[in-house]
Structure 1
Amino acid sequence: MPATSLADWLRSASDDELAALLQARRDLATPPPSDSTVLATRAGTAGSTARALEDLDTFTLTVLDALLVADADTEAVPRERVAALVGVDPGAALDRLRARAVVWGDDDALRALPVTRELVGPFPAGLGASVPELADADLSELGEDERNVLNALAAGPPIGRSRDALTRVPVEDAKTPVQRLLARGLLLRRDAETVELPREIALALRDGHSCSPGALREPELPTNPHQQSTVDEAAAGEAAEFLRQMESLLNQWSEQSPPVLKSGGLGVREVRRLARELEIDDARAILLAELALGAGLVADSGTTAPEWVPTTLTDSWLASGPGQRWLTLAQAWLELPRLPGLAGRRDAKDKPMAPLSDDLRRPLAPITRRRVLEALADLPAGAGVKSVDELVAVLAWRAPRRGGRLRDETVRWTMAEASTLGVIALGALTTATGALLAEDRQGALSAMVDAMPAPIDHVLVQADLTVVAPGPLEPELAAEIKTVADVESAGHATVYRITEQTVRRALDAGKTADELHELFGKRSATPVPQSLTYLIDDVARRHGRLRGGAAASFLRCDDEVLLAEVLGNPVAGEYELRKIAPTVLVSPVPLADVLDGLRAAGFAPAAEGPDGRVLDLRPSGRRIPARARAARRAVLPEPNGPNPGQLAQIIAHLRAGDRAASRRRGAEVRLPAGGGGSDTAATMALLARATREGREVWIGFVDSHGTASERVVKPAYVGGGILRSTSDEQYPLHRITSAALVED
């Protein structure tokens, strides 16, 4: 007998079918359903069904629409009826729908979950209400204007607005196409300004099919073939440029940290300033800032006047090689629970969303990125998509209900960001990214290092005081050149400019004129121009004649003997006191500490302010420890379904519940809350009797999670507060709420 309800169908399903269902719809397994009725009820809820539909492709959803058009949510429908509406064999789609328990039943009696009509909407397949008497309506005599109205509504949705529906007129008085169609009954009047196309008319205009041919098969994705090595090299070039810009951002924010907006995030002025200084567009500047935050390279200082400040991770990142730097940023981008592309858009309150603010947070963003990259990974090696819009159409066909209103925009943002970061190039996936998607970090690092040009150990010094780096420099050489020259233009060949200010900067950093001459003499592949030699010598000759130092506090006294006594005391060495004038001592230690030390040594110093007045340096009140900055939130991975062992336990639990529900039971002994003496004794007696006679017992019990369920067990032993069944299952007696012998 065919199953008439979902619970009956689930009850008759095999263990493998139930396991596949619980894997496809993971929410159904938590908490474990007590029986098939509970599982069916849970599977029929709107929230669970909506999640089940998210991963289905357009063809499968089209078949579901056809089932609803045939009213499969209220009565059984044969497969032939669905095939006639779709126009092709719906077998594969029906299998997917059955595997998710959205549809059940044999081919001659298919049924759909009633809640699917609510989720799909009032017009499945874009078809309106059914008017059976219009099934054989003659449309051959319609005028062109009338047919245009019907064709527009037949494409869906079937609802249109027209003031011609305001009044009803007979056929002979109708003047407009809508009035004539209403008068003939080919349109339905819903209200004074709304008309609806009957389902039968739309099907006639669609040649009897509920869907368009484009919904039946996935769109083609045209590609351009490339050598994989070409793709990898092109991506490595983009990655190197992005790394250079990230380094510039970190250096700039180290010197002048931008403020955090009161509402959180980075201000528009700061974004434009960053874009102007790096000579990039705003979108790239926002991506740089977002990845710096996502990788933990910058953070909110959390002070009274908070700023975006580089973290200690910046130093280790800057000290790493280019391949490792890229890997850090690429991994951060893949796991970034934010959408940088939203920056600048308006939120629900019509306020612009700022970069680095919580407005851009989208926990499902990493899943979307991986979905886009995995679509590229399915292409042949080196094959790149010709158009991002074509990729958008393919992904939309594969999962039209997934991604919400930003579904298509997110794909475009992902492709643009991936190209900027060097994750893809020429529309194709790189070898490094493929390894990264496979969780092979070492393989990704090796692939990117191999793709990047080898660092060079020389530069070309020009007569106009420019230094040309014909490729990426060795890290040590790059650091030395940046000390003595400024970047004038960047790219595959970087041009540096040497000026008097840059030479002075190198001397300020501790370099000597001889060391600068040696640097250019050994590292330049071209002769060092005489003008550079003269510039270095001239700046060095004037450098350092006026010197400055740092001091945290000073001591002054007109009595030189007293100062000499202080310098002769051990306290002078402890606080690093040093004489810079006959009546002045300086120390790198804060003044309050120096004064406390002098007082402990027997002196009687006093603190003074800029105007010479004595100051009181004692604390003005109680202090509390500084709060530690909150750790960066990690991205939670997509939850996994139950493992095979857990699935087996869940299914066994469900089968036991079904057996309990199907068995007839005799007089029931029910225990009140907290137990009771007489009832407990009666239960023990009943269980002991079942053990002696080898009979099955129906029991109700509450598990450790507080979930009530029913079981049919055959007791093997009762004692020590435990009921043990012949299948070696154990039930604590204090959790058993009722018991009854199973009747034959």
Structure 2
Amino acid sequence: MAGNSLLDWLRASDDAALSAVLRSRPDLAVPPPPDLTVLATRAGVRASVNRACEDLDTLTLAVLEAFAVAGADTEPVTQEQIAALFGDQVPAGRLAAALDALRVRALIWGEPEIRLLPAALEVVSRYPGGLGRPAAALADSGQLAKLLADTPDAERRVLQALADGPPIGRSREPGASVVQQLISRGLLLRIDPETVELPRQVGLALRGPAPLARLVADEPTLDTINPGAERVDATAAGAVLELLRRADLLITAWSEDPPPVLRSGGLGVRELRKAARELGMEVPEAGLLVEVLVAAGLIADSEGTGSAGAGSEWVPTTQVDLWAAGGVEQRWIILARAWLELPRLPGLIGYRDDADRILAPMSDELRRPLAPRDRRRVLDALADLPPGRGVAGVDRLTRVLAWCAPRRGGRLRDELVEWTVAEATLLGIVALGALSGPGRALLASPDPAPVLSALRAALPEPVDKVLLQADLTAIAPGPLRADVAEEMAMVADVESAGGATVYRITEGSVLRALDTGRAPAELHELFATRSATPVPQGLSYLIDDVARRHGRLRAGAARSFLRADDEVLLAEVLAHPSADAWELRRIAPTVLISDLPLVTLLDVLRVAGFSPAAEAGDGSVLDLRPRGRRIPAKPRAAASRVSLPIPDDNQLTALIAAIRAGEQAATMRPSTDALRRSADGATNGRSSSSATLELLQGAARQRRSV
């Protein structure tokens, strides 16, 4: 036996056993305990015990509950006694593994007689095993058996109902009722005028052999599917490209029209729905994208307060330009890591709080510091499967994780699994229920190189050609090369996105391209060189028609001016019913000026059916596309550590050596105190320096530490 107390067991343990305890419960080493007494005291603190039990599975927690039922906190029990409580439900090997898990966490100790840490009683239920508290009057098992044998059937049925659990019942029956008879014989205990409790000994006796077998349900199996690593990675690559496209759209939209910050913080429901509609996403998905972009530092509150101030808005930061300049791989890594380390629960977006208010993106109510830990737990379960193999359904994964760590996740434990898989799928970390190659690399190491390599292997090769159709659409059969994508975005509108992007070429999109200073000949050449199919005649006609009308009017700043070689065209402008609102004045046969800003003048003329072009001072076409707002990027907060780091072997060796030294010093302290008292008596009022010198000399003679 290693002693009756945890302290005695720790003192008798070797360095390997102490290392195992500190590795499984790293909070015990912060700050480093000066000796084993402090270590034993910390191990019995309720908060530390709760933390130590978070990773225990259902079986191990049931074994812990069995120790509570057996009263191991007051008297030692044996492994055989615990095994008898479960019968054949728990094989010997599984029971031994559960005991090792509890012992390495210092929740139990001793061999062959095992004791339970008293603080562990606060981890198990109030009525462990569904059994009541023991009654001192029923300590004699023979007497209890006789009482039960003499119990009539009606009374026994009441006892059996309480033995099945819970052991608490309500009864207001007065006089010589069934309950009253049981109370009078000590088989029931009266708690208050309306409540009775079945003593633990009675419950164990009525349950018969293996009274705790019901605590251990069979471990659920994980139904898996095998879509194949290649298919999983190809699907994930499509999700990555779609994610980045939508991120670009949101950043562009908020550059031009930033939404306001709510007075209570976050993004308003109306603005979120608008963003979801423009991005072609569900509202929760749009909320997730907003959360990730803010976490990545690409969007920020313009006032930096997180709540509505004077003109406080959600605006893209200058970090966006650096992010956009990177390749697909670098851009995705930034977003994926931001989500992985996000200390918030985007899955709560759209739910209502206790005041019946809708939870909004970026609101304080979504903050959960433990979210990164719980998120990784779900992804690690998928990472344990071979590449290309995934789960058949999230429900089964939820049940498996609940069995493996029932104390993890709180009341949102099951929802967290569903949210994590859905969010990871949207980001391309998971696809078809399996962890993608880039997602696996992302979890395995903080080094970006393996992630870049995995994503490059998954992404299809960029193409530099589109397929022009007779209906004035262009199909990109894969991700376009960056320069080609920029050209197509200038001259066409995205109609649908996915594995193949469909662009629609319209009069407005051609006009937009001409507004950037492109000549009609350049547009003809663009389509001729970038199309793998012949250019439709209708597209050529459209370009020529728009170009013929474009630029006949020339606008400049007077605040702005209009000029045209055709005097009749200017007369037509002046004769328009809205001309007075345009504040136009003729200063020459071919020149009009206006007090409206140039951009405003161009907009109103186009609404009226004209096609003016902006003109620079040298007569060239002026590109007036909005550049979008930017605010300075704010320093990103360091990822908060939600769990204490596990000490490595060198740290554990040094820590245990320091604890051993402290323990040795603590055992020598009484002798040192005696030396001090002896020296104090010998000094009889002499100076403190003399007394100190004599104390040191005495310690040297006796070879004692001071």
Whether the TM-score (by the shorter chain) exceeds 0.5 is yes
* Separation in structure 2 between the aligned mates of residue 677 and residue 519 of structure 1, nearest angstrom: 103
Aligned to 1:612: none
Deviation of 1:13 after TM superposition, in Å, equals: 0.9
Cα separation, partners in 2 of 1:409 and 1:315, compared to 1, 3 Å: same
* Separation in structure 1 between the aligned mates of residue 356 and residue 198 of structure 2, nearest angstrom: 37
Amino acid at match of 1:29: A
1:101 aligns with 2:101: no
Aligned to 2:116: 112
1:475-494 equivalences under 5 Å are 475-494=482-501
1:186-225 equivalences under 5 Å are 188-200=189-201, 202-203=203-204, 206-212=207-213, 215=216, 218-225=219-226
Aligned to 2:291: 290
Q: Give the 3-state SS of the residue equivalent to 2:106 in structure 1.
A: coil
Deviations 1:397-442 (A, max 9, x none): 2222222222222111111111111111121111111111111422
* Separation in structure 2 between the aligned mates of residue 215 and residue 84 of structure 1, nearest angstrom: 14
1:215-254 equivalences under 5 Å are 215=216, 218-254=219-255
What residue ranges of structure 1 are gaps of 5+ in the alignment?
A: 555-579, 589-626, 700-744
Q: Give the 3-state SS of the residue equivalent to 2:75 in structure 1.
A: coil
Amino acid at match of 2:691: A
Deviation of 1:46 after TM superposition, in Å, equals: 0.9
Deviation of 1:277 after TM superposition, in Å, equals: 1.6
Deviations 1:586-614 (A, max 9, x none): 9x9xxxxxxxxxxxxxxxxxxxxxxxxxx
* Separation in structure 2 between the aligned mates of residue 478 and residue 135 of structure 1, nearest angstrom: 85
Aligned to 2:97: 92
Cα separation, partners in 2 of 1:313 and 1:82, compared to 1, 3 Å: same
Aligned to 2:18: 18
1:527 aligns with 2:534: yes
Amino acid at match of 2:25: R
* Separation in structure 1 between the aligned mates of residue 217 and residue 500 of structure 2, nearest angstrom: 51
TM, length-normalised to structure 1: 0.76
Amino acid at match of 1:325: R
1:459-470 equivalences under 5 Å are 459-470=466-477
Q: Give the 3-state SS of the residue equivalent to 1:488 in structure 2.
A: strand
TM, length-normalised to structure 2: 0.80
Cα separation, partners in 2 of 1:493 and 1:661, compared to 1, 3 Å: closer
Aligned to 1:339: 345
Deviation of 1:207 after TM superposition, in Å, equals: 4.5
Deviations 1:451-503 (A, max 9, x none): 12222221122222222222222221111111111112222222221111111
Amino acid at match of 1:343: I
1:449 aligns with 2:456: yes
Q: Give the 3-state SS of the residue equivalent to 2:265 in structure 1.
A: coil
1:503 aligns with 2:504: no
CA contact (8 A) 2:298 2:633 kept: no
Specify which of 674, 689, 699 is matched with residue 680 of structure 1.
689
Q: Give the 3-state SS of the residue equivalent to 1:668 in structure 2.
A: helix
CA contact (8 A) 2:476 2:501 kept: yes
Cα separation, partners in 2 of 1:185 and 1:508, compared to 1, 3 Å: farther
Across the aligned residues of Structure 1 and Structure 2, the Cα RMSD in angstroms comes to: 3.2
Amino acid at match of 2:314: W
* Separation in structure 2 between the aligned mates of residue 685 and residue 179 of structure 1, nearest angstrom: 76
Specify which of 519, 529, 554 is matched with residue 512 of structure 1.
519
Deviation of 1:117 after TM superposition, in Å, equals: 1.3
CA contact (8 A) 1:260 1:307 kept: yes
Q: Give the 3-state SS of the residue equivalent to 1:697 in structure 2.
A: coil
Q: Which has the higher strand share?
A: 1
* Separation in structure 1 between the aligned mates of residue 410 and residue 495 of structure 2, nearest angstrom: 45
CA contact (8 A) 2:34 2:659 kept: yes
Deviation of 1:348 after TM superposition, in Å, equals: 4.9
* Separation in structure 2 between the aligned mates of residue 285 and residue 628 of structure 1, nearest angstrom: 24
1:364-383 equivalences under 5 Å are 364-383=370-389
Specify which of 366, 370, 377 is matched with residue 360 of structure 1.
366
Moved more, 475-484 or 303-312: 303-312
Amino acid at match of 1:470: P
Cα separation, partners in 2 of 1:690 and 1:197, compared to 1, 3 Å: closer
Cα separation, partners in 2 of 1:150 and 1:511, compared to 1, 3 Å: farther
Deviation of 1:217 after TM superposition, in Å, equals: 5.1
Amino acid at match of 1:409: E
1:546 aligns with 2:553: yes
CA contact (8 A) 1:168 1:183 kept: no
Cα separation, partners in 2 of 1:214 and 1:475, compared to 1, 3 Å: farther
Cα separation, partners in 2 of 1:247 and 1:212, compared to 1, 3 Å: farther
Cα separation, partners in 2 of 1:208 and 1:267, compared to 1, 3 Å: farther
* Separation in structure 2 between the aligned mates of residue 504 and residue 298 of structure 1, nearest angstrom: 31
CA contact (8 A) 1:170 1:183 kept: no
Could you say which structure has the greater relative contact order, defined with CA pairs below 8 angstroms and 6 or more residues apart? 2
* Separation in structure 2 between the aligned mates of residue 551 and residue 93 of structure 1, nearest angstrom: 84
Deviations 1:68-116 (A, max 9, x none): 10111122222221111133333222222121111112222x1111111
Deviation of 1:304 after TM superposition, in Å, equals: 2.5
Deviations 1:206-245 (A, max 9, x none): 5433534572653211111232111111221222222222
Deviation of 1:351 after TM superposition, in Å, equals: 3.7
* Separation in structure 2 between the aligned mates of residue 374 and residue 127 of structure 1, nearest angstrom: 36
CA contact (8 A) 2:265 2:363 kept: yes
Deviation of 1:504 after TM superposition, in Å, equals: 0.8
Deviation of 1:140 after TM superposition, in Å, equals: 11
* Separation in structure 2 between the aligned mates of residue 486 and residue 166 of structure 1, nearest angstrom: 77
Amino acid at match of 1:34: P
CA contact (8 A) 1:169 1:183 kept: no
Aligned to 1:668: 676
* Separation in structure 1 between the aligned mates of residue 150 and residue 287 of structure 2, nearest angstrom: 58
Q: Which has the higher helix share?
A: 2
* Separation in structure 2 between the aligned mates of residue 151 and residue 257 of structure 1, nearest angstrom: 67
* Separation in structure 2 between the aligned mates of residue 350 and residue 208 of structure 1, nearest angstrom: 50
CA contact (8 A) 2:172 2:193 kept: yes
Q: Give the 3-state SS of the residue equivalent to 1:38 in structure 2.
A: helix
Aligned to 2:270: 269
* Separation in structure 2 between the aligned mates of residue 453 and residue 187 of structure 1, nearest angstrom: 73
1:424 aligns with 2:425: no
Amino acid at match of 1:168: P
Cα separation, partners in 2 of 1:193 and 1:488, compared to 1, 3 Å: farther
Deviation of 1:255 after TM superposition, in Å, equals: 1.5
Cα separation, partners in 2 of 1:471 and 1:179, compared to 1, 3 Å: farther
CA contact (8 A) 1:167 1:192 kept: no
* Separation in structure 1 between the aligned mates of residue 359 and residue 150 of structure 2, nearest angstrom: 53
Amino acid at match of 1:221: L
1:66 aligns with 2:71: no
Specify which of 418, 434, 439 is matched with residue 440 of structure 2.
434
What residue ranges of structure 2 are gaps of 5+ in the alignment?
A: 304-308, 562-586, 598-630
Deviation of 1:292 after TM superposition, in Å, equals: 0.8
Amino acid at match of 2:653: A
Aligned to 1:47: 47
CA contact (8 A) 2:26 2:644 kept: no
Deviations 1:291-317 (A, max 9, x none): 111111111111731111111222233
1:640 aligns with 2:645: yes
Say how many residue pairs are matched: 617
CA contact (8 A) 2:329 2:455 kept: yes
* Separation in structure 2 between the aligned mates of residue 43 and residue 689 of structure 1, nearest angstrom: 38
Amino acid at match of 1:413: W
Cα separation, partners in 2 of 1:349 and 1:192, compared to 1, 3 Å: farther
Cα separation, partners in 2 of 1:271 and 1:455, compared to 1, 3 Å: same
Q: Give the 3-state SS of the residue equivalent to 1:120 in structure 2.
A: coil
Deviation of 1:654 after TM superposition, in Å, equals: 2.5
Deviation of 1:686 after TM superposition, in Å, equals: 2.2
